[in-house]
Amino acid sequence: MDHIEAAKQARLKAYVPYSKFKVGAAILLKDGTYVHGANIENASYPLSNCAERSALFSLISQGYDVKDIKQITIIADSEQPISPCGACRQVMHELLPKGTPIFLANLHGDVKETNPDELLPYAFDHFDEDTDA
Ligand code: THU
């Protein structure tokens, strides 16, 4: 399946009673498997989870290794290709292998390719430091 179509399928699973703004994310693994994520909101608004974080957390929860990630595609019904929030940029920067292609898309066929360093320059990464973690 095409990566845009996979992200569209993921988007249909969104739980968005508050914003009504559905977002889908599809992570493609090197073996061709797709892992889906959708945004899941809550009446206590800050507890809502974005699609790209849902996909990454699902991937790890299912026992996949982030080293096997080939690319991620995120899609929404936005005028421009969807722009990930700051929290998701931080999470993607930590969990996606360096240089992983990130495709930002919308339902009009616009697609922008980027990567973790471009989305979050000068990212916080405690693994750069000499810690015991
Ligand atoms: N949202 C995502 O899921 N991903 C993005 O990249 C941008 C924003 C969600 C959060 C919230 O459920 C809704 O979109 C409106 O902000």
The 10s digit of each residue's pLDDT in 35-82 is 999 999 999 999 999 999 999 999 999 999 999 999 999 999 999 999
Which residues make beta-bridge pairs with 69?
Answer: 29
Kindly report the pTM of this predicted structure: 0.94
Task: Find the 133 Cα to ligand 1 centroid distance in Å.
Answer: 30
Burial of 15 (0-12, 13-18, 19+ CB in 10 A): middle
pLDDT of residue 73: 99
Q: Is the pLDDT of residue 6 over 80?
A: yes
Q: Is 10 in the pocket of ligand 1 (CB under 6 A)?
A: no
Q: Is the pLDDT of residue 133 over 60?
A: no
Contacts of 60 (CB under 8 A, 6+ apart): 66, 95
Contacts of 18 (CB under 8 A, 6+ apart): 41, 43, 45, 48
Under a CB-based contact definition with an 8 Å cutoff, are residues 71 and 35 in contact?
A: no
